[in-house]
Structure 1
């Protein structure tokens, strides 16, 4: 989304690092998103996605779990975070911290 692009642009302009998205084993539903800073270049098999002047790297082992997802950035008085609308999710845990694909 435009909010995610704006926040990613801020991050990349500060230190030149990229954001790498992975899905890791976590929580009661099995998987959770993990975002890490990455100094270029990306791994040999990682997917590099460029949109609207920003670059995001997707971990090669996670690609099929996040393909087709929309990344957003949300802020409120309590927190700021990237969130994902993922068409591959078939279930989430009660607290929505983890998901299954």
Structure 2
């Protein structure tokens, strides 16, 4: 939908690829759907769910055994994002390095974007 021919809308690190493939295999899912919803201190939160099938309009990114499905309403906000999986002493989880983010809350759970037509820092309408 918002893709550039020959360019993947997101990149997936090897650590994220392994974790996505593990999650998919454990639940017999066909992919990990990533999206955005209103919420959090900064206005928007990333969403993730294992999906049985791709929905119409999903952008599909495949790498090795991993498959990421990007919800249509999130595609323009996620373009250029690197998806990583980090394991730490206190917590482990997916990390999104998104060049479109203009602000984030202190805990890193929510973000805001400045996309054409939105005031800087305003949450986009989904």
- The alignment's TM-score, normalised by the length of structure 1, stands at 0.91
Q: Deviations over 1:21-57 (max 9, x none)?
A: 01111112111111111111x1111111112332110
Is 1:78 matched up with 2:118? no
Is 1:94 matched up with 2:106? yes
Gaps of 5+ in 2: 1-12, 114-126
Q: May I ask how many residue pairs the two structures share in their alignment? A: 100
With 78-87 and 45-54 compared, the bigger mean Cα shift is at: 45-54
Q: CA-atom RMSD, angstroms?
A: 1.2
Equivalent residue, structure 2, for 1:48: 60
Query: Whole-Å Cα distance in 1 between the matches of residues 28 and 46 of structure 2?
Result: 22
Equivalent residue, structure 1, for 2:71: 59
Query: Whole-Å Cα distance in 1 between the matches of residues 18 and 106 of structure 2?
Result: 30
Query: Whole-Å Cα distance in 2 between the matches of residues 80 and 86 of structure 1?
Result: 19
Query: Whole-Å Cα distance in 2 between the matches of residues 88 and 52 of structure 1?
Result: 26
Equivalent residue, structure 2, for 1:19: 32
Query: Whole-Å Cα distance in 2 between the matches of residues 87 and 71 of structure 1?
Result: 12
Question: Highest Rg: 1 or 2?
Answer: 2
What's the secondary structure of 1:13's corresponding residue? Answer: helix
With 27-36 and 8-17 compared, the bigger mean Cα shift is at: 8-17
- The alignment's TM-score, normalised by the length of structure 2, stands at 0.74
Gaps of 5+ in 1: none
| Aligned counterpart in structure 1 of residue 48 of structure 2, from 35, 50, 54 | 35
